[in-house]
Each structure stands twice: as C-alpha cells, then as structure tokens.
Structure 1
Amino acid sequence: MNSIIHILQTQGNDILNSIGQHITISLVSLLIAAVIAIPLAIVLMKHKKIAEVILQITSVLQTIPSLALLGILIPIVGIGTVPSVIALVLYAVMPIFQNTYSGLTTIDSNLEEAAEAFGLSRSKKLVKIEIPLAMPMIISGLRIAMVMIIGTATLAALIGAGGLGTYILLGIETNNNALLIIGAVFSAILALIFSALIKGISKLSLKKIGIIFMAVIVLMGGYFGYKTVEKPQVSITIAGKMGSEPEILINMYKDLIENDHPNMKVSIKPNFGGTSFLYKALKSNSIDIYPEFTGTVLESLVKTNKDASHDPKATYNLAKKLLKEQENLDYLKPMKYENGYALVVKKSFAKKYNLKTVSDLIKVENKIHAGFDPDFYQLKDGYPGISKAYNLEFASTKTMESSIRYKAIANNKVNLVDGYTTDPQIEEYDLVALKDNKEFFPPYQGAPLVSEKLITEYPELKATLNKLAGKISVEDMQKMNYQVAVKHEKASKVAHDYLVSHNLLREK
C-alpha cells in the first residue's frame, strides 16, 4: 500500500495524463464503432442473409489476437493512436452490430403491423417505434463494447499510444505489483463509470441521445483539430522497450539531441513494447531511433549462418554490417555495459561457499535448486548450453515466469536464478551475478539503432548519439535501474543526472 501511495504522490500528473489518453482512445473507438455498426444494422434489418455474413465477418475479427492485429497495422498506419483505434473499432463493431440487429429484428410483428395500419412511413416507423423498442438492446451492445474497449485499450501502450496499459505492462515486466494495481484499478473504475453513464443515457429520449451523441462528436473533433493546429510537428521520435533501462536510455538520447541541436524537436515513447513492434516501427519510419542489443540483432533481427561470437567488438561489427546490408539501417557505436544473461545467487550464499564465478558452482552443484525463465531453460544459449560448457548438474531445476523468479530466490524457494546483468532486483534483493569466466553467454551491448531516413536528413546526429559510446558501466546501469524501478524516481531525472555527472551535458 505504501508503494501505491508513493507512486500516486510522485507520478500523479503522469497517471492523470495516462487516464486522459485511455479515455480519449476509448471514446473515439466507441463512437466510430457505433457510427459504423448501428446504421449498418438498420440498413440490413430486412436483409437477413447479408446481415448473417456481416455478423460472421465481425465474429472472425474478434478471434484475431490483439497483439497480432497491432503488429499487422504498424507497417500500414504507423504507431500511436491511429492503429490502436482501428484495432479497437474492429473489436467493438461486433457486439454493437449484433445487439442492434437483434433488437430491431425481434420486435413483435403485431406492433409492426399496427404501425403500418396507422400509415407511418418507413422512416417514422423506424424513429417512433423500432429504434425506441430496440434501444435496450442497442445500449446493452454499447456497454459491452465500451467495457471491452477499455480493457483491450491497455495494449495501446505497446505501440506508443499511452494509456493505463503503460502501468499494467510495466508492472508485469518489472514485477511491481503497485504499478499493476494502479493500472488495473483505474481501468476497472473507468469501465464502471462509462458503463453507468451509457445506462443513464439510455433513459433519455431519442432526441436527447442524438444531441448528446452529436455534441460528443463535435467536442472530440474540435479537440483533435486544436491539437493538429497547435501541437508542433515532431521531427524525431525515439522509442524504447518495456522497462526502466530503455526509458533511461531514450531520455539520454533526447537530452543529448536537444542540447546539441536546439532547433530539433524530440518526442519519446517509453514502454513501447517488444522487439518486433519496435523493429517494424523503425523500418516503416514510424519511429527514428531505439536502443537495441547486439546479441538480439544477430539472434532475432537479421539473417546469418554464423555462430555468435563471444567477442563484443566482433559481435557489434557483424550486427552493424548485416543491418546495413539487409535493412539499410544504421547501428551506432555501443555503450560499455552488456545486459546479458547471468546466473544469480544471494550474496550470503555466495559468501558462505566462496562463489565468484560460474565455475565455482561445481563445488556446490548438489546444493543448487535453480529457478529459470522457460526460455532460458530450453534455449541453447541458456541452461542447456551453460550446463554443458561448465559441466554442471544441479540438484533440481524449476521453470517459472521471469516476473516471479527474483521473488522466489528472495523468499528462499530457490537459491539460483537466471537474470540480466543490469537487473535492478540484483541490488534490491541483495544478490550477486556470478562471473561468466568461460565467456559462454554472447555479448549484449546496447547501441542506438537508427533509421536511414533520419541519418540522411540529420547526419550530425551520429556524433551526438555516439557521445554515449563506451560509456555507462554495468554498475552504472544497475544503479540507475534501481533508482527508477525500485525507488520510483523519474527516468528523465536519472538520465539527466548521469549525463551531467559524467560531463556529457551541462547543468541548466
């Protein structure tokens, strides 16, 4: 509870901004879905076969995983609000259309005949009889769609659209229950509030509902029109993966660029999502820069038949060469630290058995009860490979989600886990990463991955971003990660303080 209160106090403005983004995305999506689905149901109420086809199509759209849909949309429409709204509209059309169509086609035939007997025209019968009678079903569809939209909109954070999903995804990524609770609770509150509002609106007359609907459209249109006119165009967009470390790095890039080139406008998108989203966004010029690791480039982003080298310089040079040849992307000089795999134990355990390197585990292998991430447990550059390279056979091994393995070792459920060398939990739980003395793990140096378009337009940015080349040690990054992820300091401040303390930026 103390952590939640602390986050609310220190990040109150950011949380309010995220709530505003979430509401905006959700309302726009609901309005567009309603404008599409309700008139379509009215038009097709007398065309059963066509209506069934449309219903089948919308049902199929519901089965497409949201992550897959967002990934498909990135190369087509870029990142941010637009692909998020498109995805949410596609999901929301089905319940609104289905309920509206059902409401309109299940009206008592006697009432329909009575309306015709009174000589009501098709349009008057629709407005006076059919829509009012179908309104409970229409409202039900809108409420279902709104709740679904608010829940699904949390994934908008994965492609830079913001919203409360930022806190949910970051909470999962960093095993921070406080962030997770904040995002989930506020999302639930929004769903309840908007569900109640829609229910309340249903009690109004059709005329008043139409006025409210048009007023919301006008207000939303005015808001986006104002933003388009008033908001300055962003020249450079920098994005980062989930977690504290990428957010720190992209804030460093931003500070350096704005310091060296005051005329450039920079926008950052932290907690953007996974590697595939960022890579697609970079190739489609939706973003211009993001920090990537050399090992990840060779394993996931380029095609190569060569085995991974354990020489950091050779790994970087190969990654840079292949990125240029295959995707025409620039990979600037790497920083000093490596965020690679590590075997981690408690400091007390290491001290008791004098453990400093992975090789030292041989003397206590019958006492080791390990907890590994599922990927690490089965990848050749994970547990299978390192156990063979070091001739290790532990007493027991368990697989567990990466978000809980550190808590497992902190609570003595296991005494060894896999991790990354810059993880803030190493300091938080008083752990130590054993030295990979045989250099089994491939190098994972961080470096800016930059679009060719940006470097062509602003070639001077290379010198600016290369100021971080050879800088930031493992200890530095681990400390900064701890400040952001555990102490909940702002990533922008931590990044700025580092640059100033290392004479890379002047204090303002």
Structure 2
Amino acid sequence: MEQIMQTFNERRGDLWQALLQHLQISTLSLLIAMVIAIPLAIWVVKHQKISEFLLQLTGVLQTIPSLALLGLLIPLVGIGTVPAVIALVVYALLPIFQNTYLGLTEIDPALEEAADAFGMSRMKKLFKVELPLAMPTIISGIRTALVLIIGTATLAALIGAGGLGTFILLGIDRNNTSLILIGAIASGVLAIIMSSLIKWLENASIKTSVSVLVVIIALLGGGSVYNTYVNRTETVTIAGKLGSEPEILINMYKELIEQDDEHIKVTLKPNFGKTTFLYNALKNDQIDIYPEFSGTVLETLTKKPQQTSGLTANETYKKARKIMAQQDDIELLRPMKYNNSYALAVQDKFKKEHHLQKISDLNNVQSILNGGMTLEFIDRGDGLKGIKQKYGLDFPVKSMEPALRYQAINKDRINIVDAYSTDSELRQYHLSILKDDKHMFPTYQGAPMMTKDFAQKHPQVSKSLNKLAGKITEKEMQEMNYEVNVQEKAPATVAHQYLVSHHLLKEDD
C-alpha cells in the first residue's frame, strides 16, 4: 500500500490528465451511441423485421474483438481518439438499442390506447407517455453501455488516444504493479461514479436528463477549448513507442528543442504504440516527431523487402534515409551511436551450464529450448523467422508481452527470450546475449524521424536534435534504462542528467 501511495503522489498530475482523457473519450462515445441507438430504436418499434435485423447486427458488432476492430479502423481513420471513439460506439450500440426497443415494446397496450383516446399526436404520446414509461429500461441499457465503454477505453492507450490504459500498459512494460493497480482502480472508480450518476437520472425528468448531458458536454469540451487558448505558442508533438528507452529519448528531444527555441512548446506522447502506429500517425500529421531505428525502417516500414544482411551501420542508415525520403517524403535525421540490436538471451547459469557463446551453439541444446518472445519478433523477417532460416533452429516459442517474457525466464518457465541489446532487464535478471555469429540482425541505430515538410519549416528543430548524433553508447543507454525500470527514476530526470553531464544542456542554476 505504501508503494502504491508513493507512486500515486509522484504521478498525480499524470493521473488527472489520463483520467480527463478517459472521461472525454468515454462520455463522447456514450453520447454518440445514444444519439444513434435511441432514435433508431424508436423508429423500428413499428417495423418488426427491421428491428430483428438491427438487433442481430448490433449483437454481431459487439462480438468483434476490440483489438481486431481497432486494427481494422487504423488504415481507414488513422490512430488516436477517432478510432477509439468509433470502436467504443460500436460496443455501446447493442445495450442502448436493445433496452430502448424493449422498453417501448413492453408498454401496456391499454396505456397506448388511452393516449390515443385522449387524441395525443405521435410525438406528444412519445414524450409524455412512452419515453417516461420506458425510461428505467433505457437508463439501464445506458448504464450497461457506460460501464462497458469505460472498461474497454483502457485499450485506447494502444493507439495513442491516452486515458487510464497508459498507466496499465506502462505498469506491464516496467513490471510495476503499483502503476497497474492505479490505472485499474481509477477506471473502476470512474465507472462506479458515472454509473451512479446515470442511475440518478433514471428518476429524473427528460428535461433534467438533457440539461445534465449539456453541462457534461460543456465541461469536457470547455477544457479542450481552454487548453487550446492557453497554449497559443506553436506546439510540436513528439511521440515514443512503448518502453523506457523511447520515453528517455523523447524527453531529451523536448529539452533540446525548447532550450533552443523559446517560442516552441513540446508536447510528449510516451508509450504511444508500436512501430506501424507511430509511422501512420507521423504520415497523417497526428504527431510531428518520433525516434525510429535504421534497421526497423528497412525491415518494417519499406513497401518492398530490403536486403540488410552484411550492411555496415552507416550503409544501413543511408539506405533507410534514402528510401524514407523517396517513399513517403520522410526525413530521418542523423543517428545516435549505440546499436539497439535484436538479440537472443539466456540466463547466465544456462549459458555456462551448456557452454553457449553464440547463436549457432543453440543447435546443440535445441531439444530443451523453450522460448518466450514478443509477437513482433516472432513475426519479423529479422526476428524468429530469420533465426529459423539462417541458423536452422526450430524450438517451441510462446508469444508474450515484452515485460512478461523477462519475468517468465527469471522464474525458469522459459529458457530463451528475444531482447534488445540495451534492455535494462539483461542486467536486472542476469541474462547474457548470444553472439549473432552469422550476422542475421541488421544494425539498429536510433534517429529522430519527421516529415520533410516539417523539417523544412523547422530547421532549428532539426539542428537541435542533431546534437545527439553520434552520442550515447550502448552501455550508457542500458544504464539509463536500468535507472528508469529498476531504480524507478523518472525518464525526464534521467534524460536531463545525461544532457547536462554531456554539456548538451545548460547547467542547472
């Protein structure tokens, strides 16, 4: 409990921001779903065949796995808030539509006849008789939809929409139970509070319900308008992939840019998502800069397969830079020194026991290998597929989240993992990297990536970021990752200390 409270105090500001993002996404999704589902249900009450079709359709939509739905939406609408809201609206349609329809169709026919006998018009009967009688059932559907939305909205963090899911993802990535609990508890409390508010509206008049909704919209929308008004200086948005290393780098970018140009305000989006998410966001101008790796460009981002084997670090960078410029008008700035290469790692004791030095030696112990690797590594040509082909290895592998695979090998549930050469967990869990003796893995040097249009309009930004070119060794990067992941220092603090100690930033007063 003490650890949770300490983490809460340290990240209180981030939590309120994530809570507001979560509330905005959830409320907007609920309102859109209500605007679609309630009128539609009212209309189909008199059309039984259509109502049955729509009930089946909304039911089918709700069975689509959330990650699959987000994956289908990304090519159409990009990443960020828009696909998250669309997905949440899809999931909210069924309970609202179904309960509205049931509430209206289960009204006592005698009451309908009485309303007709009084000569009420269709609209007057709807608002004076039908909706008030059906309101408890409708509100119940809205409550169900809201709880569903708030829970599912945690996945919005996977596509850069923010929210409380950022705490959960960050906690998983850094093996920090406190972060996971804070995100999960906050999401649960938010669901309870919002559900109670809607429960209160169950006995309120339609006019009161509409008034409350208008106030909520005004408050949430007003916050966005206010932030836009306050931040009238130019804003540069920098995003990073999941993990401590990208977060350290984007904090370095922020400090260097803001030091050299006081008219620019940098907004950071850490743990924004995986490679393709960030690249699509960059091309769609949803972000301005993110750190990428030369080898990843050639293996993942190029439209045509590229030969990376045998290339030097400089050749890899030049080839990646040229292809990005030709393919999508993307600028890849000069890289840093360290090579954050893919690698295969085993425990020190396993390496010593079986006399392992290089990847080729694994052929001698292939029958006892049991791997745990990230889904991205398993699917990449410069990952497990390449290892199997080039080294002739074939052993069982389970797909795991990055942090979980390290926990699994530490508990002897698996005995080999994929790794990055700068991972702090190599030191933390006493793991050794096996030498890539057949040079299967390409060079991975990190460099800032931006559109050419942005680079041309902001030459000072490029100049500031190029101060990191040729800097940061693998040992330094691994040490900084260790400070964040194990010693639990803030990435911004670690980034600042490096910049000051290497005279890239003015000394603290």
Query: Is TM more than 0.5 here?
Result: yes
Residue 288 of structure 1, CA deviation: 1.3
**Match of 1:462, as an amino acid?**
S
Structure 1 segment 36-115 matched on structure 2, within 5 A: 36-52=36-52, 54-55=54-55, 58-59=58-59, 61-63=61-63, 65-67=65-67, 69-70=69-70, 79-115=79-115
Write the distance in 2 (CA, Å) between the matches of 1:378 and 1:4. Answer: 36
Are 2:374 and 2:418, in contact at CA under 8 Å, matched by a contact in 1?
no
Per the alignment, do residues 234 and 346 of structure 1 end up closer, same or farther by CA in structure 2, a change over 3 Å counting? same
Per the alignment, do residues 82 and 377 of structure 1 end up closer, same or farther by CA in structure 2, a change over 3 Å counting? closer
Task: Describe the SS at the equivalent of 1:503.
Answer: coil
**Match of 2:328, as an amino acid?**
E
Residue 283 of structure 1, CA deviation: 0.9
Structure 1 segment 440-451 matched on structure 2, within 5 A: 440-451=440-451
Write the distance in 2 (CA, Å) between the matches of 1:8 and 1:205. Answer: 39
**Match of 1:144, as an amino acid?**
T
Residue 349 of structure 1, CA deviation: 4.9
2:275 counterpart of 1:275: yes
Residue 330 of structure 1, CA deviation: 0.8
**Match of 2:332, as an amino acid?**
Y
Write the distance in 2 (CA, Å) between the matches of 1:446 and 1:368. Answer: 35
* 1:205-235 Cα distance to aligned partner (Å, 9 max, x none): 3343233233323333433433343333543
- Equivalent residue for 1:401? 400
Moved more, 295-304 or 396-405: 396-405
- Equivalent residue for 2:168? 168
- Equivalent residue for 2:507? 507
- Equivalent residue for 1:133? 133
Moved more, 241-250 or 404-413: 404-413
2:223 counterpart of 1:205: no
Per the alignment, do residues 473 and 125 of structure 1 end up closer, same or farther by CA in structure 2, a change over 3 Å counting? same
Per the alignment, do residues 288 and 4 of structure 1 end up closer, same or farther by CA in structure 2, a change over 3 Å counting? same
Structure 1 segment 415-454 matched on structure 2, within 5 A: 415-454=415-454
Write the distance in 2 (CA, Å) between the matches of 1:366 and 1:450. Answer: 43
**Match of 2:173, as an amino acid?**
E
Moved more, 25-34 or 343-352: 343-352
Write the distance in 2 (CA, Å) between the matches of 1:62 and 1:387. Answer: 39
Write the distance in 1 (CA, Å) between the matches of 2:460 and 2:324. Answer: 20
Structure 1 segment 313-462 matched on structure 2, within 5 A: 313-350=314-351, 357-358=358-359, 365=365, 369-373=369-373, 375=375, 376=377, 381-382=382-383, 385-386=386-387, 398-402=397-401, 403-462=403-462
Write the distance in 2 (CA, Å) between the matches of 1:390 and 1:455. Answer: 42
* 1:236-263 Cα distance to aligned partner (Å, 9 max, x none): 2111111111111111111111111222
Moved more, 466-475 or 123-132: 123-132
Are 2:309 and 2:441, in contact at CA under 8 Å, matched by a contact in 1?
no
Write the distance in 2 (CA, Å) between the matches of 1:154 and 1:258. Answer: 31
* 1:160-201 Cα distance to aligned partner (Å, 9 max, x none): 321111022223334444333322232122222222222222
Task: Describe the SS at the equivalent of 1:303.
Answer: coil
Write the distance in 2 (CA, Å) between the matches of 1:228 and 1:408. Answer: 45
2:308 counterpart of 1:308: yes
Write the distance in 2 (CA, Å) between the matches of 1:32 and 1:306. Answer: 44
Task: Describe the SS at the equivalent of 1:107.
Answer: coil
Per the alignment, do residues 118 and 397 of structure 1 end up closer, same or farther by CA in structure 2, a change over 3 Å counting? closer
- Equivalent residue for 1:223? 223
So what's the TM-score if we normalise by structure 2? 0.89
Task: Describe the SS at the equivalent of 1:330.
Answer: strand
* 1:455-492 Cα distance to aligned partner (Å, 9 max, x none): 12112332221111111111111111122223322211
Task: Describe the SS at the equivalent of 1:145.
Answer: helix
Are 1:74 and 1:281, in contact at CA under 8 Å, matched by a contact in 2?
no
Are 2:234 and 2:263, in contact at CA under 8 Å, matched by a contact in 1?
no
Per the alignment, do residues 225 and 168 of structure 1 end up closer, same or farther by CA in structure 2, a change over 3 Å counting? same
Per the alignment, do residues 222 and 316 of structure 1 end up closer, same or farther by CA in structure 2, a change over 3 Å counting? closer
- Equivalent residue for 2:492? 492
Are 2:233 and 2:264, in contact at CA under 8 Å, matched by a contact in 1?
no
Residue 352 of structure 1, CA deviation: 6.6
Task: Describe the SS at the equivalent of 1:286.
Answer: coil
Are 1:104 and 1:131, in contact at CA under 8 Å, matched by a contact in 2?
yes
So what's the TM-score if we normalise by structure 1? 0.89
- Equivalent residue for 1:467? 467
Are 2:299 and 2:381, in contact at CA under 8 Å, matched by a contact in 1?
no
Moved more, 377-386 or 487-496: 377-386
Per the alignment, do residues 428 and 12 of structure 1 end up closer, same or farther by CA in structure 2, a change over 3 Å counting? farther
Residue 427 of structure 1, CA deviation: 2.0
Moved more, 73-82 or 265-274: 73-82
* 1:85-123 Cα distance to aligned partner (Å, 9 max, x none): 343234323321222122112212122112212333333
Per the alignment, do residues 422 and 189 of structure 1 end up closer, same or farther by CA in structure 2, a change over 3 Å counting? same
| Superposition CA RMSD, Å | 3.0
* 1:389-444 Cα distance to aligned partner (Å, 9 max, x none): 66879xx7553524433223222344443321111211222323234344332212
* 1:111-167 Cα distance to aligned partner (Å, 9 max, x none): 211221233333332223211211122112101210121122112223332111102
Write the distance in 1 (CA, Å) between the matches of 2:276 and 2:378. Answer: 22
Segments of 5+ residues of structure 2 without an aligned counterpart are none
Write the distance in 2 (CA, Å) between the matches of 1:458 and 1:379. Answer: 34
Segments of 5+ residues of structure 1 without an aligned counterpart are none
**Match of 2:107, as an amino acid?**
I
Moved more, 221-230 or 232-241: 221-230
Write the distance in 2 (CA, Å) between the matches of 1:464 and 1:256. Answer: 6
Write the distance in 1 (CA, Å) between the matches of 2:6 and 2:437. Answer: 41
* 1:371-397 Cα distance to aligned partner (Å, 9 max, x none): 23165567664456547766879xx75
